Chain A
Amino acid sequence: MEYFMSYANLGVALFLLISMAMMLGRLLLGPTLYDRLLAVNSFGTKTVLFLCVFCLVIDRPDGVDIALLYALMNFIATIAVLKFFRYRALDVSLLESHITDRDGAAE
């Protein structure tokens, strides 16, 4: 039964890798910036899943900690990149960001 579960986990990890490769296709040929950002975000989610499954396959439970960190970093990176491309700067405080809109920051 453990052998079978190991093979099942390996199969799930393999399909997650295929899914990640397909998401890389959208990342490379996405027409707009937001398509690429969406692809990066989805790729990160799939990376977290892949790490969780693969650390069971190779029987090293340390990978889950890395997956947890990667999930956190992926979310913060998405928000940071979105904020950067809206205000062209990262040091806009959240209180100002309600008042200053995109055109005001650009001018």
Chain B
Amino acid sequence: MTYMLILAAETVQAANYVPEILPLLRNGLAVASMVIGLFFVLGGTLGVLRLPDFFTRLHAAGMTDTLGAELILLGLIIQEGFTQLSLKFLFVSIFLLLTSPTATHAVANAAYQAGLKPLLGKYKIPTAAEISGDYTKQDDHHADDHSSEDHH
């Protein structure tokens, strides 16, 4: 912060100081991209914490993690320019773009195959058993379906 104040004071003192427009534009783009990416990442995290069901949580995490990660890495690439470091950022970005949806799909598929039922219907205020995570008590009507599925 003090560095910024010193920088600002020097800027004011220098009478014929012309700020270069290109680095300003580049860094502005980078910061904008990173902030939008951070918005998506934080929104996804909030969704994972707050949403009522596993599949909704997966939806929140899977969508936003991909886009948020891409935007943050794009911001880093923009502020770095054409260097070896930005090539590495590009590799990380491509790799995350490939693996993040795949992992999300794998987790969803595994959960569905294991018999985890999505929460369907209108939103209900969760009961005390659901909040405490005791899924065995309130899932009694699903237990028969599971056993019949398992033995066919």
For chain A, residues 33 to 77, give those with C-beta under 8 angstroms from any C-beta of chain B.
Answer: 34-35, 37-39, 41-42, 45-46, 48-49, 52-53, 56, 61, 64-65, 67-68, 71-72, 74-75
List, in ascending order, chain B residues with CB within 8 A of A29's CB: 133
In the complex, the answer to whether B45 meets A78 with C-beta atoms within 8 Å is: no
Interface residues on B, range: 35 or more
List, in ascending order, chain A residues with CB within 8 A of B121's CB: none
Q: Is the interface of A mostly helix, strand, loop or mixed?
A: helix
Residue of B nearest to A44 (CB): B103
List, in ascending order, chain A residues with CB within 8 A of B45's CB: 19, 22-23, 42, 46
List, in ascending order, chain A residues with CB within 8 A of B85's CB: 61, 64
In the complex, the answer to whether A42 meets B48 with C-beta atoms within 8 Å is: yes
B116 CB to nearest chain A CB (Å): 6
Q: A8-B34, A86-B113 are contacts. A37–B73 as well, Cβ < 8 Å?
A: no
Q: Which of A46, A49, A61, A72 has the most CB of B within 10 A?
A: A49
A82 to B46, CA, bound (A): 24
Q: A32-B116, A61-B85 are contacts. A38–B48 as well, Cβ < 8 Å?
A: yes
A82 to B84, CA, bound (A): 35
A36 to B76, CA, bound (A): 30
Residue of B nearest to A5 (CB): B27
List, in ascending order, chain A residues with CB within 8 A of B113's CB: 86, 102
In the complex, the answer to whether B107 meets A34 with C-beta atoms within 8 Å is: yes
For chain B, residues 49 to 76, give those with C-beta under 8 angstroms from any C-beta of chain A.
Answer: 49, 54, 57-58, 61, 65, 68-69, 72-73, 76
4 extra A-B contacts, CB within 8 A, seeds A3-B7, A8-B31, A86-B114: A22-B46, A26-B57, A49-B69, A52-B72
Binding site for B on A (CB under 8 A): 1, 3-5, 7-9, 12, 15-16, 18-19, 22-23, 25-26, 29-32, 34-35, 37-39, 41-42, 45-46, 48-49, 52-53, 56, 61, 64-65, 67-68, 71-72, 74-75, 78-79, 82, 85-86, 102-103
